[in-house]
Amino acid sequence: MDIEQRTDQELADIFKVLSEPNRISILRILQHSNRELTCGEVSRQLNISPSTVSYHFKALRKAGLTNTRQMAQAKLLSINRETFQKYLPNFLDSL
């Protein structure tokens, strides 16, 4: 697979992950928070269970859209701005 095909596949994977409305809501929350958030904080803002948020975070992380950092018992979540800059440079501004 050449670099162009790989880039097209990565972009298709990103769009697939973004086709779920809760994931866009999660990205919006992270974008507007200007800090790392825990799964519980996002869960409370979306009014959905932490396990559901965790499921969506796994998909976002796997697509390279978010970062997860372990701190003691908490996982801190943030947007992976490099991925957005590379594939969807103005997307975060639209949130």
Strand partners, 70: 75
pTM, whole model, 2 decimals? 0.90
What CATH number does the domain containing 63 carry?
1.10.10.10
The pLDDT tens digits along the chain (95 residues) read 676 777 888 899 999 999 999 999 999 999 999 899 999 999 999 999 999 999 999 999 999 999 999 988 888 999 999 999 999 999 999 99
CB 66 within 8 A of CB 79: yes
So what's the pLDDT on residue 1? 65
Q: Which value, to the nearest 10 degrees, does the dihedral of the CA atoms of residues 32, 51, 57, 13 take?
A: -130
Q: In what order do the strands lie in the sheet with 66-71?
A: 37-38, 74-79, 66-71
Total domain count, the chain: 1
Domain interval for residue 90? 3-94
So what's the pLDDT on residue 73? 86
